[in-house]
Amino acid sequence: MEGDQTPRRASNSDARRNARARAADKFFSAPRDEAWRARYRAKDSKLAPRRLVQQKLDQKKAASERARAWNKAHAEQVRETQRRWREANADRVRAYGRASYAHRREQVAERGKADRDRNPEKYRQRHREWLSRNPGYSTEYGRKYRQDPDRYARMLESNRNAKRLAKRLATLGLPPRRITRSTAADRRANERAAVEFFTSDESRERQVEYNVFHTALAAAVADDGAKLWAEVREKERRRSVQGLPPVDPDEQFFAQAVDAVLEQHGDFALTSTDVRRAITSVREVEARRLRDDQQRTLQRELVAYVRSNVSRLSREAQMENRALVIAGKSEQPIGLVAHRIAVEKIRERLSLDRLPAPVIEKTILAVHERHPALFDPPHKVGSEEQGSAAVRASFPTPPTSRRASPINAAGRVPRQSGAQSEVER
């Protein structure tokens, strides 16, 4: 009926649903609350010490912040208090400093090195001031050092060895030993630069490009040297015609070589320092190559000249020795004197501007030692033919020019009439 407001009677299903709900509430409410309370009490008993520790830490942190703020607000009073305490407890301060340094020795040393690297002039000034305050320290230290006989003997032996080495290098025509002393700060700076050089990608790429440029420059100097020198001479002639001042030919030559490399390979991302370093290296390589070429040419020409003039060189060497005896000097080996005379004979037609005197003497000794029996007494006298035969015998015949010869039963090569022997050939 429309508009009927009569309440609906609960059904059996509703009653059962309500009963289940009440039973569920009763089941889940009391045991669950008790279980949660028991679990919280157990957890709280475990967390209580942690909370206590955290509470103490918070209190200590708050106290430190209050003390820091007070010290900042009363800085002069704090410094005065600390000064009085240090004066009253000097022994404790020293003991604390020694213990702290022993515990942090490496950190203190690294911090000191870093400060010396940042301010090198400050420490140099300190050193100068200390030396001015202690003028006789170095002298006294050296005197005490030499009082130890073993130390003094080692120092004298080291000086003698250094002098022997310098004399031996000068005799061999080698440059003296160069010793560059560097400070600890320089060594650390070099080590840092080396680490950066070998680990940085940019440095590696730059080094690769430098190697390419260096190789190309060395090839240009070695292969096109004559052409480049011709261009340098032509430019120098034009400058002289125009009345311009002359320039260094060597610098002009390497400038031409660098231009040729850039024209062939394009631009390089190198600095002027890198280009100058490459030029210096190539110049040294080229000078060494020219020196080796001149030394080989001198050796070859000296061998050929001596082979062709053994008798005459022997006579001149004997005359030279007689002159030495008359002058009151000792005689020298005939062969060595003959080779020196031969060098003087052929010097005019050779270019030896790259060879210093010790290198020329070394070359003479090397050629003389290759043929020790060339100027023996049996070869000093006799006809020109005997001298030539002795010279040919002292030089081994190249393998390509040897021919197989029959050997008789006695193990000797039979000499054929009308033909030259192996020695005469």
Ranking 51-65, 235-249, 300-314, 398-412 by mean pLDDT, the lowest is 398-412
The predicted-structure confidence for 56-100, as pLDDT tens digits, reads as follows 888 999 999 999 999 999 999 999 999 999 999 999 999 999 999
Whole-model pTM?
0.45
- Same domain as 381, residue 323: yes
CA dihedral 257, 258, 259, 263 (to 10 degrees): 100
For residue 397, pLDDT over 70 is answered with: no
- Rounded CA separation 418/420 (Å): 7
Residue 371 sits in which domain range?
Answer: 291-397
At 32 the pLDDT is: 62
Nearest to 279, CA basis, from 229, 213, 234, 224: 213
pLDDT (average), residues 36-52: 69
- Same domain as 311, residue 392: yes
The predicted-structure confidence for 218-231, as pLDDT tens digits, reads as follows 888 888 888 888 88
For residue 25, pLDDT over 60 is answered with: yes
Residue 378 lies in a domain: yes
Arithmetic mean of pLDDT over the chain? 79
Residue 392 lies in a domain: yes
Residue 416 lies in a domain: no
Helices (H) and strands (E) in the chain, counts: 16, 0
Residue 302 lies in a domain: yes
Task: Give the contacts of 270 (CB within 8 A, at least 6 positions apart).
Answer: 206, 209, 210, 213, 278
Ranking 32-36, 143-147, 204-208 by mean pLDDT, the lowest is 32-36
How many other CB atoms sit within 10 Å of the CB of residue 311? 19
In angstroms and rounded to an integer, the radius of gyration of the C-alpha atoms of the chain is 48
Provide the domain count of the chain.
4
At 79 the pLDDT is: 93
Secondary structure of 261-298 as H, E, C letters: HHHHHCCCCCCHHHHHHHHHHHHHHHHHHHHHHHHHHH
The predicted-structure confidence for 148-170, as pLDDT tens digits, reads as follows 889 899 999 999 999 999 999 88
Residue 419 lies in a domain: no
Q: Percent of the chain having pLDDT more than 90?
A: 16
Residue 363 lies in a domain: yes
**CB contact burial 61-78 (16+ within 10 A = b; e otherwise):** eeeeeeeeeeeeeeeeee
Instruction: Please report how the helices 75-88 and 12-73 are oriented relative to each other, as an axis angle in degrees rounded to 10.
Output: 70
Residue 190 lies in a domain: no
- Same domain as 295, residue 262: no
